[in-house]
């Protein structure tokens, strides 16, 4: 005897021992085989067949699934490769920004690979940029460069009185990198920067006045006057513009001062000639050989020999390369020690009219020495002719 039909879609199991058992719909129910007796139809199966269509699963070829997966993999690899390349370029830019150079192989291995891995893992470019900036700025070299640049700006302001120019940064970065690789600390770096600026033309020209004053003090033992200072600064600045070193500029200034009459009469050959002339005059005691007295004095004071009569010295002195003619009157010349006076003629004697006369000034404004001491040389101007005045060099 059949029981009551079960709810649609819920197959029933025939009663056993007076019970009806409900069971859930499964694919096996939906595909159940009809009763072998055509006269007996199972109403549950019949209802299920009418209201629940059979679901057929599509058959997908395996080659299609494999190709689709490989295409996705290829696309993912391409994207990852592009992003990794972008991360590598960003690494180079980060190093250029922080260290003004490209990364070394070791740095590339440490930082660039991390950035590339972040790119492959899908991290945004902004995140990678932040990582690279923080990583490069944290490197000891980058920290040293920042400290060095701060010191450079400070010493530039202190020594040159101005801000750093953009074109100066490129060169100083190389200097700072070299100092860092030498293991120099902040104190040593600042000292090196100061020395570099002080050796530069801008600083040297700003302080040319100090250089000139130092050379005047060393050579003449006095400070330059306003006119001398201005002339010295102009000379020093011109030499600096020509690329002369500190030593070359100092030597040029010192040489110029030692070539002046002031130096010669204080410390040089003029002083030596004046001093030696007193001893020679005492030895010869008016022998009548004025040229011999002057020539002996020159040899003792300067170590060179000059020959000839008195008037011949006008041609022979410049031939030694140690004397130059100066345009001074007799009155002015007598105020300086160690100048050589040469007359072409002297009316004091017959020999003087033939051979001329020569003497060395003492610097008292009146007298001169040769083979004798002439206390008032100025008064002889009336009978002596053809005067030339010679200053020793060195």
The answer, yes or no, to whether residue 178 has pLDDT greater than 80, is yes
> pLDDT tens digits for 85-129?
776 677 778 777 777 777 777 777 767 677 777 777 777 878 877
Tokens 């990364």, located at residue:
103
**What is the pLDDT at residue 354?**
94
**What is the pLDDT at residue 311?**
96
Q: What percent of the chain has pLDDT over 90?
A: 50
Specify the higher pLDDT residue, 186 or 30: 186
* First-last CA distance in the chain: 152
Structure tokens at 245: 């070193």
**What is the pLDDT at residue 27?**
39
**What is the pLDDT at residue 122?**
77
Q: What band does 66 get if pLDDT is binned at 50, 70 and 90?
A: low
Mean pLDDT of the chain: 81
> pLDDT tens digits for 67-84?
554 565 455 556 556 666
CB 388 within 8 A of CB 314: yes
> pLDDT tens digits for 227-281?
999 999 999 999 999 999 999 999 999 999 988 889 998 889 999 999 999 999 9
> pLDDT tens digits for 362-383?
999 999 999 999 999 999 888 9
The answer, yes or no, to whether residue 1 has pLDDT greater than 90, is no
Give the CATH number of domain 267-392; options: 3.90.1720.10, 1.25.40.80, 3.30.70.20, 1.10.357.10.
Answer: 3.90.1720.10
Mapping DSSP onto H, E and C, the string for the chain reads CCCCCCCCCCCEEEEECCEEEECCCCHHHHCCCCCCCCCCCCHHHHHHHHHCCCCCCCCCCHHHHHHHHHHHHHHHHHHHHHHHHHHHHHHHHHHHHHHCCCCCHHHHHHHHHHHHHHHHCCCCHHHHHHHHHHHHHCCHHHHHHHHHHHHHHHHHHHHHCCCCCHHHHHHHHHHHHHHHHCCCCHHHHHHHHHHHHHCCHHHHHHCHHHHHHHHHHHHHCCCCCHHHHHHHHHHHHHHHHCCCCHHHHHHHHHHHHHCCHHHHHHCCHHHHHHHHHHHHHHHHCCCCCHHHHHHHHHHHHHCCCCCCCCCCHHHHHHHCCCEEEECCCHHHHCCCEEEEEEECEECCCHHHHHHCEEEEEECCCCCEECCCEECCHHHHHHCEECCEEEEECC
> pLDDT tens digits for 184-226?
888 999 999 999 999 999 999 999 999 999 999 999 999 999 9
CB neighbours of 112 closer than 8 A, spacing ≥ 6?
Answer: 87, 88, 91, 103
Average pLDDT, stretch 290-302?
A: 96
Give the C-alpha separation, 50 to 46, whole Å. Answer: 6
**What is the pLDDT at residue 96?**
76
Give the C-alpha separation, 41 to 35, whole Å. Answer: 7
């Amino acid at each position: 005897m059949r029981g009551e039909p079960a709810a649609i879609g819920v197959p029933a199991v025939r009663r056993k021992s007076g019970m009806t058992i409900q069971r859930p719909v499964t694919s096996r129910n939906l595909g159940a085989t009809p009763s072998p007796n055509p006269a007996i139809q199972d109403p549950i199966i019949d209802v299920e067949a009418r209201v629940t269509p059979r679901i057929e699963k599509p058959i997908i070829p395996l080659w299609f699934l494999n190709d689709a997966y490989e295409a996705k993999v290829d696309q993912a690899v391409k994207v990852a490769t592009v992003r990794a390349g972008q991360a590598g370029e960003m690494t180079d830019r980060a190093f250029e920004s922080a260290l003004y150079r490209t990364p070394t192989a070791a740095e590339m291995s440490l930082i660039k690979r991390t950035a590339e891995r972040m790119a492959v893992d899908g991290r945004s470019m902004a995140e990678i940029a932040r990582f690279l900036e923080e990583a490069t700025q944290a490197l000891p070299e980058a920290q040293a460069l920042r400290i060095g640049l701060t010191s450079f700006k400070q010493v530039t302001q202190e020594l040159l009185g101005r801000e750093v120019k953009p074109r100066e940064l490129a060169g100083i970065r190389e200097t700072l990198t070299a100092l860092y690789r030498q293991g120099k600390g902040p104190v040593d770096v600042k000292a090196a920067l100061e020395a570099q600026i002080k050796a530069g033309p801008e600083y040297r020209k700003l302080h040319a006045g100090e250089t000139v004053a130092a050379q005047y003090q060393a050579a003449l033992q006095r400070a330059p006057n306003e006119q001398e200072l201005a002339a010295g600064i102009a000379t020093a600045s011109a030499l600096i513009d020509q690329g002369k070193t500190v030593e070359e500029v100092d030597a040029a200034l010192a040489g110029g001062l030692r070539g002046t009459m002031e130096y010669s009469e204080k410390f040089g050959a003029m002083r030596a000639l004046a001093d030696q002339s007193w001893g020679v005059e005492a030895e010869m005691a008016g022998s009548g050989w004025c040229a011999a007295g002057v020539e002996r004095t020159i040899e003792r004071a300067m170590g060179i020999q000059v020959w000839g009569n008195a008037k011949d010295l006008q041609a022979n002195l410049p031939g030694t390369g140690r004397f130059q003619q100066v345009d001074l009157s007799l009155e002015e010349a007598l105020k300086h020690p160690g100048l050589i006076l040469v007359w072409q003629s002297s009316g004091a004697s017959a020999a003087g009219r033939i051979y001329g006369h020569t003497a060395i000034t003492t610097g008292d404004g009146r007298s001169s020495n040769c083979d004798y001491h002439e206390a008032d040389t100025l008064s002889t101007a009336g009978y002596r002719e053809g005067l030339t005045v010679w200053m020793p060099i060195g």
